[in-house]
Structure 1
Amino acid sequence: MKKTISLLAAALLAACSTEPVSTVAVPTADPDTIRAHVTYLASDELQGRDTGSEGYEQAADYVAAQFREIGLQPAGEDGFKQTVPFRRASHTEQKPTAVLHTADDDIELAFGEDFLAGAGQAQQASAVTAEMVFAGYGIDAPRFGINDYEGLEVDGKIVVVLSGRHASLPTEEGAHYRSGRTKLQTAAARGAVGMISVHTPQAEKRRPFERSAKYAERPNLRWVGKDGVPSDTVPGVHPGIYLDIGAAEKLFAGAPQQLAQVFEAVEKGEKLQGFDLAVRASLSNHSQHEQITSPNVVAMLPGSDPQLKDEFVVFSAHLDHIGLDAHAEEGADHINNGALDNATGVAIMLETARMFAEGERPRRSILFVAVTGEERGLLGSDYFAQYPTVPGDKMVANINLDMPLVLYPFNDVIAFGAEHSSLGETVARAAANAGIKLSPDPMPEQGLFTRSDHYSFVRQGVPSVFLVVGFESADPDIDGGEVFTNFLKTDYHRPSDQIDLPINYLAAKKFTEVNYEIGREVANTEERQRWNQGNFFGDLFGG
């Protein structure tokens, strides 16, 4: 009886409403379609979809064909594609060098053992000899009362900094300040000619230096801007090196403090004070450059509102993965298929796009962007955010899908970054409409808000969220957090991330429908999304 009364009340309200009642049925997601997308994108045929590879090109062609079949409009620069120009820098036979000049001797460090250095992007050859200065973590964060450069003169010197950040910094803001990009820009702005980052005991626990050293020879990619300058480089500044702890101790010979004392101060939570080092350094780097391209794939569904259709809600998901495993044992599986990272994310975005195309047309236009180069440093999304194929000031929100672990029936979703803007309220409302709870970040220490493609949009002032499946399982025998942790330990960035994992396509269907509800809510709100008053990221990037 209560249900009958509720239905009658709803009908009366609809009859009295001045708003037109939609006759378009609410679409539903198809788990078999999602499965088909994942099966192709994570197939051996695509060889792990590495940026710039033939396999990635095939994946991009597939996504473009799906956009076309759905009935979306091309929104790239060449049909559905936006070609991203990259510079691939590799080491030459003349490997990077690092020599320390002490009062008594010259100490030559070994590349790949004592230090790591990426191939230079800004120039093919770089060499610098200079005095050094220790600058703590190399962070200047006025809002949080931190300035590691206070009282230091670094002009013309090489700055030595610890990897990581101050423990007092909030996690997400700290993730911004701990990034190599931010630290290099901070040092260069003060006249530094190079930077040396020091591995720490905390970093060793997370990722041993020896593990990173296995990839010492790996080429690196940067997109190249319209001005011909590679992204995240500072021309005229040496590309820098990363030192293991044992080698770094030699930098502090004759200094006011030894490195062990610095680490002890960190452990005690004491304030780090910078100081000049008695040791000078000579660094060199030689690289060879190759120009390659790899496309973003971009489609648009035009909005229905005459005033709001020129604004855009952007769905994004990275299409690339890490390609082949060069360190696999002979005869072992060496293809990193990336089924969950991120074939599922792209498949769910494609199915979300189909739902929008078949459902009631939203007021704002919606862009669907499958980006390249995420695994190489958020490169494709950064290029798109800086060179968008629509007016940049008309992008009102970004909803990013990366590695949704649809391995179990879930009861909640997590929207990393929701607390920074009005998107938090909008996403919570939409999730409730879909019968799903919005949960807070269960892993704040990971700083995930800055670690996927949505952050490229944040850096251009666009309120953004990174949406994943939550840890609350509908099956009491499954611990969602444990499933997530086990995936990271056993399958993440490994050949085992493939379609024979127990992917739950009914959960993928549910997650797609939640995404549709969120996108529809954002696209139909009267007011565009805004940063919360006084928010760090809004103040830093949204002004």
Structure 2
Amino acid sequence: MRRTLLAVMALLGCSDDAKPIPPTDPQDLQTTLDALAAFGEKQPGTEAGRMAAAYIESRFEMLGLEDVHQETFQIPRWQLNNKALSISIDGVMSTPGFDVFEAAGSGVADGPIVDVASATDADLEGLDLTGKIALVKRETSFHRSAQLRNVAAKGATAMLYLSVAPENLRQVGSVRFGWNANEPIPAITIGADDGAMIKAALDAQKTVTAHIAVDATSVPANGINIVGKITGERPETIVLGAHYDTWATGSSDNGSGVAELLAVAARRVQHEKPRYTLVFVAYDGEETGLYGGYDYYRKHTVVAADPIIAVINFESPSAKNPDLAGLAHSNQPKLDEALQLAHLRQIYGVYAGLEIVAQLFGGIIPTDIQGVYRGGTPTVTTAVTNPYYHTVKDTPDKVDLDLLVASSDAFDAAIDHLGKLSPADFGVPDPSLWTADVATQVGATVDVDVTVRDGSGAPQADANVEIAALHDDFMLTAEVKGKTDASGHVKLSLPADAATAGAGNRFVHVSAGPTYPLVEKIVALP
């Protein structure tokens, strides 16, 4: 890996510029990582989150980016009031260390523990978990929110999540699957060593039960996106982003992403004026609901109709000893060509279409580009996981600086290659995605007409359609589900208050697909 990175960095040193820009200085990346780490856990609506936003805003200004500003949005911030866990093995009680997942449901669960492996559909086939507590193992490629959804659908009263991090560290995060403030059942996480004890007892056919209690509420909180730009020769825009909110210190996820965002911005201001306008966005609220990415998409695509032609997302781009080091992209020929010309395929061992991510992760794409990708904009995201993912030891020393340098310089080169494309090149649709025509009518109810087609334009019968109405940015008003008829059409109705709830900023999100969404369309309501 190290030899490959050195070779790629040498290739990237070649440039069309009269005075080639030297490779990114790893010390500059380290400075950003250390500064962000000093804020600790950075969540929307917290002082640490606001301090991190101010730091990034000041860095944007120091780099000389134009129109540097904040964009705020409201979210339901989940708050834990009380928690309890006890385990009984053949009548012997113990209380291992544990954390409650963000967005876990409130409630009390008492019952036997059942090992359901990774809680995939195959793992759960034929099981009835009614009245039982599901023991679920973390999987790198199957998201915990999908795992919780699956066990809840089988009747489980709670999810007991088995972390796989070293040193009995607990891996935390959110289990929010959609737009709910919280999920229907409690979900807690324990360390690998404690989990191994429970699994061994189950394998020995001992009687293993648990008592789990969670009391949680949600309150409104504000997230903050930080935005700056470099005006290009043309108004069409390439957006580059990274989320800065974290669990614990969060140096690989996602201090490394912010460090790369700043490094690429620092390189681009040294170039000549780009062909396309470059917008740099530091997203908030990714960890709890992909809020920052969706808010930018709404404000700038749905409402303002900005001519966004591509989006690049720096999601955990670097970590030492990664479980997986990947780059995923829309199936868009010219985009793929630009990435490969920049040698990004050599840098990231897993190089694949974004549709694979949704297939693996239970129907979701767990990073800020989910909405814009489903909407059809050419999109790229990195994804590197490591043993300390979402633990208190994801600290600056866990980031691979050589990989971060190579990735930063390669994406800088990719922007040069993207700048040689015509706007029409970006307009070639991804054949793996669907399209949706959506019309709304406000009356006694809010009626939503939807027609879905696949990438070839063929209407899709019996497609699953889900509609969510939100107000005050991300406060859920109502949801409704249905299936399309033979012509790919369905008409669904939301309650009238979908058009009146809250103070404003009302949107309808429509997603559709055969089993999970292959298209998402967002419509602004009055």
TM surpasses 0.5: yes
Question: Which aligned pairs between 1:75-86 and structure 2 lie closer than 5 A?
Answer: 79-83=69-73, 85=75
Shift of 1:33: 9.5
Q: For residues 255 and 75 of structure 2, what CA distance do their matches in structure 1 show?
A: 27
Q: For residues 31 and 347 of structure 2, what CA distance do their matches in structure 1 show?
A: 33
Shift of 1:163: 1.2
- Do 1:426 and 1:522's aligned partners in 2 also have CA atoms closer than 8 Å? no
Q: For residues 341 and 398 of structure 1, what CA distance do their matches in structure 2 show?
A: 18
Deviations 1:172-205 (A, max 9, x none): xx81xx22111111233344432234x4xxx7xx
Deviations 1:137-190 (A, max 9, x none): 3212xxxxxx33333334x4335244156xxxxxxxx81xx2211111123334
Q: What is the aligned counterpart of 2:127 among 144, 152, 175?
A: 152
2:349 corresponding residue in structure 1: 442
Check if 1:196 corresponds to 2:187. Answer: no
Q: What is the aligned counterpart of 2:120 among 122, 130, 139?
A: 139
Structure with the bigger RCO (C-alpha within 8 Å, sep 6+) is 1
Cα RMSD of the aligned pairs, angstroms, is: 5.5
- 1:61 is paired with a residue whose SS is helix
Q: What is the aligned counterpart of 1:238 among 173, 179, 186?
A: 186
Question: Which aligned pairs between 1:213-362 and structure 2 lie closer than 5 A?
Answer: 229-230=180-181, 233-234=182-183, 236-240=184-188, 242=190, 244-250=195-201, 252=202, 259=203, 281-287=210-216, 293-299=222-228, 309=236, 313-320=238-245, 341-351=256-266, 354=269, 359-362=273-276
- 1:148 is paired with a residue whose SS is helix
Check if 1:542 corresponds to 2:518. Answer: yes
Question: Which aligned pairs between 1:418-497 and structure 2 lie closer than 5 A?
Answer: 418=329, 421-422=331-332, 425-429=334-338, 431-432=340-341, 436=343, 438-439=345-346, 441-442=348-349, 453=367, 456-457=370-371, 460-461=374-375, 463-467=378-382, 493-496=394-397
- 1:89 is paired with a residue whose SS is strand
Q: For residues 426 and 252 of structure 2, what CA distance do their matches in structure 1 show?
A: 41
Give me the TM-score of the superposition, normalised by structure 2: 0.57
Q: For residues 352 and 150 of structure 1, what CA distance do their matches in structure 2 show?
A: 52
Check if 1:87 corresponds to 2:77. Answer: yes
- Say which structure is richer in helix: 1
Check if 1:127 corresponds to 2:103. Answer: no
- Say which structure is richer in strand: 2
1:96 corresponding residue in structure 2: 84
Distance 1:290 1:223, change over 3 A: farther
Equivalent residue letter for 1:97: L
Equivalent residue letter for 2:146: T
Q: For residues 157 and 388 of structure 2, what CA distance do their matches in structure 1 show?
A: 41
Q: For residues 37 and 367 of structure 2, what CA distance do their matches in structure 1 show?
A: 22
Shift of 1:507: 6.1
Q: For residues 27 and 352 of structure 1, what CA distance do their matches in structure 2 show?
A: 15
Distance 1:180 1:429, change over 3 A: closer
Shift of 1:282: 3.9
- 1:96 is paired with a residue whose SS is strand
Equivalent residue letter for 1:354: V
Check if 1:185 corresponds to 2:161. Answer: no
Deviations 1:301-325 (A, max 9, x none): 677768xx4xx54311233566669
1:210 corresponding residue in structure 2: 168
Equivalent residue letter for 2:96: F
Q: For residues 99 and 509 of structure 1, what CA distance do their matches in structure 2 show?
A: 47
Equivalent residue letter for 1:244: G
Distance 1:283 1:59, change over 3 A: closer
Distance 1:98 1:505, change over 3 A: closer
Check if 1:110 corresponds to 2:24. Answer: no
Shift of 1:295: 1.6
- Do 1:132 and 1:280's aligned partners in 2 also have CA atoms closer than 8 Å? yes
Q: For residues 39 and 136 of structure 1, what CA distance do their matches in structure 2 show?
A: 38
Equivalent residue letter for 1:89: Q
Runs of 5+ unmatched residues, structure 2: 1-15, 435-454, 456-511, 520-526
1:19 corresponding residue in structure 2: none
- Do 1:86 and 1:221's aligned partners in 2 also have CA atoms closer than 8 Å? no
Equivalent residue letter for 2:312: I
1:398 corresponding residue in structure 2: 311
- Do 1:352 and 1:515's aligned partners in 2 also have CA atoms closer than 8 Å? no
- 1:97 is paired with a residue whose SS is strand
Shift of 1:109: 3.6
Equivalent residue letter for 2:337: A
